[in-house]
Structure 1
């Protein structure tokens, strides 16, 4: 009798497990991994106006930290790397519309974005800094001092720089532009007092064009983890991405990319 009960219980467990296993198989088939391997290409979305993460060199080729990261990921999957240059404002909608497979574009993992798409573990931690017109040198030493309507503070539309400005400097007169370079030029040419944006970008503008026209408050006042964006409901691809990031951070590849693009400025000669 006990044997019969055990047999019936085992059969019931098997009957329950079979649909679950079938569902797992179907989920795996729908994963981006399957689509990428079948296509033989990894389509990576980014906005080529965010040095040193993604930009265009003198020969019209895409280069930068994120571009190298995408190439390493494609190599790990055994497929061709296909860059898809897309305006940052349309990045999430384009991913959801299957214009590309993932986003590697210096995108900050925010809760608002995370409601729409999934994210890998962070691959780098950044924060907002302030590029200030030289006329304020010695007077402005903190972003908090810009919290006044008399100051024109700008950032790029639809970015965490814009969010940080509105949140931490709400009283300032805010203006937005579609490209980082336009924001920086407003400050460099004295038409705005400050540009709130990610540290690496502001460092590039300060070195290349700011010089004696601007100065940089280079202590980040926000915490911003940048991560790879992917469609929700794809645990297999998320697992692959996180394991990929762990691997390159421990085998020397990540460190070499970091040194090349973030600790050195030799790359600047390729884009001038």
Structure 2
């Protein structure tokens, strides 16, 4: 609560008074010592991104990334508190000091590297193309003239835009239909408003398993491979090292595999 109040004071223009007394998690200062002293790291996430970070039937935020963060927190002696953010504003929230990390199936891209510092990658992923079972679409070229949807400002949109074939120009209206969440994207396909969707494979496989009553089909072609990492402010060099070291230790001592198996085992 104390940390959130201080950040609110900065936001409303009281930065001078606040900095004089307590310091700040600004984009220009390494905030690690302050975060450890306060015992709290605010983790920004999209709470619909299963199985990385999402709300369960009791409304609790759970997931693979959530469990990883909790374990890292124990090793660093801090508590990770989870804060839902507008995914389109995640980097803005980070650099404004409203959150301390972005950790929610966050893909490394060149565009994002200009705005944030990334941890070492901890999970491989790809951007897959999904259609309904009866769809005539069999390959990427068949998307010409079709409505294709993805989550707004997501790595799926980046991957489509960066595709060497410039296929986006052939989509209906020459664009990707974008929605705030991946749940909206899947609902759009299920309702027939979209002909195909492009989604992170990690989320998509989990979602389709949970919604087995809908007949989905994944194309063999995709929009490329990628890696997940934790996003931090560029000034947070000590925080990056602490998270990198903790994740590396977890992979060495078997903790990472234990958490992975909980969420991804067949």
Settle same-fold status: TM greater than 0.5.
yes
Structure 1 match to 2:159: 164
Higher helix content, 1 or 2: 1
1:185-242 per-residue CA deviation (whole Å, 9 max, x = no partner) reads 1111222111101012222332233545321236644121111111112322222222
**TM-score after normalising by structure 1:** 0.80
1:45-81 per-residue CA deviation (whole Å, 9 max, x = no partner) reads 1111100001101111100011111111111111222
Structure 2 match to 1:240: 242
Shift of 1:31: 2.5
Matches within 5 A, 1:214-225: 214-217=216-219, 220-225=222-227
Provide structure 2 residue ranges, at least 5 long, that are not aligned to the other structure.
1-28
Matches within 5 A, 1:122-161: 122-136=121-135, 139-146=136-143, 148-149=144-145, 151-161=146-156
Q: Distance in 2 between matches of 1:192 and 1:32?
A: 44
1:106 and 2:108 equivalent?
no
Task: Tell whether the 8 Å contact from 1:202 to 1:216 is kept in structure 2 after alignment.
Answer: no
Matches within 5 A, 1:35-114: 35-114=34-113
Shift of 1:82: 1.0
Q: 2:263 aligns with which of 253, 257, 261?
A: 261
Q: Distance in 1 between matches of 2:235 and 2:58?
A: 39
Secondary structure in 2 aligned to 1:196?
Answer: strand
Provide structure 1 residue ranges, at least 5 long, that are not aligned to the other structure.
1-29, 265-272
Structure 1 match to 2:13: none
Q: Report the number of matched residues.
A: 231
Secondary structure in 1 aligned to 2:211?
Answer: helix
> Which structure: larger Rg?
1
Secondary structure in 2 aligned to 1:186?
Answer: helix
1:105-128 per-residue CA deviation (whole Å, 9 max, x = no partner) reads 111111111111111110111110
Q: Distance in 2 between matches of 1:141 and 1:124?
A: 28
* RMSD, aligned α-carbons: 1.7
Q: Distance in 1 between matches of 2:186 and 2:219?
A: 14
**TM-score after normalising by structure 2:** 0.81
Q: 2:196 aligns with which of 194, 197, 201?
A: 194
Q: Distance in 2 between matches of 1:199 and 1:161?
A: 10
1:213 and 2:215 equivalent?
yes
